[in-house]
Amino acid sequence: MKDGATRDGYGAALIELGASNPDVVVLDSGVSDSSRTKPFGQEFPERFFNMGISEGDMVCTAAGLATTGKIPFATSFACFLLGRSMDQILVSVAYSNTNVKLAGTHSGIAVGEDGPSAQMVVDLAYTRAIPNMIVVQPADWEEARQATHALAEYKGPAYLRLGRGKLKGLYDSSHKFELGKGHVVKKGKEVVIFATGSMLQESMEAMKELQKENITPTLVNISTLKPIDSALIIQLAKEHKAVITAEDHNKFGGLGDAVGDVLLENNIHAAFKKIAVNDQFAETGTAAQLYEKYGLSASHVVKAVKEVLT
């Protein structure tokens, strides 16, 4: 199992795709060193378009390329990719149904010291609300690599949510990422935690603590947020007393709402708790400090599990 940031898994997959799929092209908006598209650009310069700091132009250029049969990965920091290009994504990508992959790196408050203007915590709400758009957030390096391959195969608009920070490896190459499928990381009882992205790592830490007190929740990786794996959520919610969701995103519009919708629409009544950013802008600080202060660290997962059990 390889430790690493999901942006690094993405960059590694792009290099593989560059060699295996001549239709894959990559666009960046002047952050190719941070977003990890630079190696692709060095290896396949004719298929790499650094559009400069103009995300709207980049997204529409990607849409144009897609109409010619290319598979463009348009890449930037999540805050700018979504923030600067919502209209372009709506009209030229989603409504036009062009085969554009939007890769947003540096998502969540885990970005850290650059502060709240760089900490994208509303992108899941944005993208989940867009018709034709699927939404994927991998939990480690390997899953990011596989998800990138899967999105190159999938025909249609997609948002790939990636992170800056190094995450502990959760999967090795024998794992088979499947679009639209949740993955049960650990089967336990009483409480089921549906986590996404970096919150898998926090949840794994929390499970170790809880184990000491003989509390053994089930942990599920929801890496496809849309379409969400309703069948798995329904089944597991029925088998447990309480449901917890965990995400580095605002509490509105992300994983918590997606899981909550599935429960409500299927008339499933379970104790329910969201671990998410509490509808506020965070501040500067290290990722670990921010996770502790803003309610996302392993200790908060432990607390939430205990709360829903009492």
Partner 1 sequence: MQGATTATDEISQLEEIAREIRRTSLQIIHRAGSGHPGGSLSATDIVTDLFFGGIMKYDPKNPKDPDRDRFLLSKGHASGLHFTTLAKAGFFPEKELESYRKINSPLFLSGHAHPKTPGVEIASGSLGQGLSVAHGIALGARLDSRNYKVYVVLGDGELQEGQIWEAAMSAAKFKSTNLTAIVDYNKVCQDNLTQDLKDLEPLEDKWRAFGWDTHRIDGHNMQEIHKTLKMPAHAEKPRVIIADTIKGKGVSFMEGQTAWHGVAPSTEDLEKALKELE
Binding site for partner 1 (CB under 8 A): 25, 46-47, 49, 51-52, 54, 56-70, 72, 87-88, 90-92, 95-98
Q: How near is the Cβ of 36 to partner 1 at its closest, in Å?
A: 22
Strand partners, 194: 220, 245
Say what the alpha-carbon torsion angle 202, 140, 32, 45 is, to the nearest 10 degrees. 180
Our CB check for partner 1 shows the closer of 95 and 281 to be 95
Q: What sign for the dihedral angle of Cα 238, 239, 242, 245? A: negative
Q: How near is the Cβ of 41 to partner 1 at its closest, in Å?
A: 14
Q: How near is the Cβ of 55 to partner 1 at its closest, in Å?
A: 9
Largest CA distance in the chain: 60
Q: How near is the Cβ of 155 to partner 1 at its closest, in Å?
A: 14
Say what the alpha-carbon torsion angle 213, 249, 37, 22 is, to the nearest 10 degrees. 90
Residue 285 is encoded by which pair of tokens?
Answer: 């600080």
Distance CA 257, CA 276 (A): 11
Q: How near is the Cβ of 133 to partner 1 at its closest, in Å?
A: 14
Our CB check for partner 1 shows the closer of 83 and 285 to be 83
Our CB check for partner 1 shows the closer of 71 and 263 to be 71
**Cis, bond preceding 227 (omega within 30 deg of 0):** yes
Helices H, strands E: what count in the chain? 13, 12
Which residue is catalytic, options 43, 55, 202, 292?
55
Q: Determine how β-strand 48-50 pairs with β-strand 71-77.
A: unpaired
Active site residue 55: yes
CB atoms within 10 A of CB 129: 12
Q: Write the CA distances from 163 to 57, 61, 189, integer angstroms.
A: 23, 24, 30
Collapsing DSSP states into helix, strand and coil, what is residue 152? helix
Our CB check for partner 1 shows the closer of 65 and 220 to be 65
Our CB check for partner 1 shows the closer of 67 and 266 to be 67
Distance CA 84, CA 81 (A): 6
**What secondary structure letter does DSSP report for 85?**
T
Our CB check for partner 1 shows the closer of 90 and 309 to be 90
Q: How near is the Cβ of 82 to partner 1 at its closest, in Å?
A: 16
- Residues with a catalytic annotation lie at 55
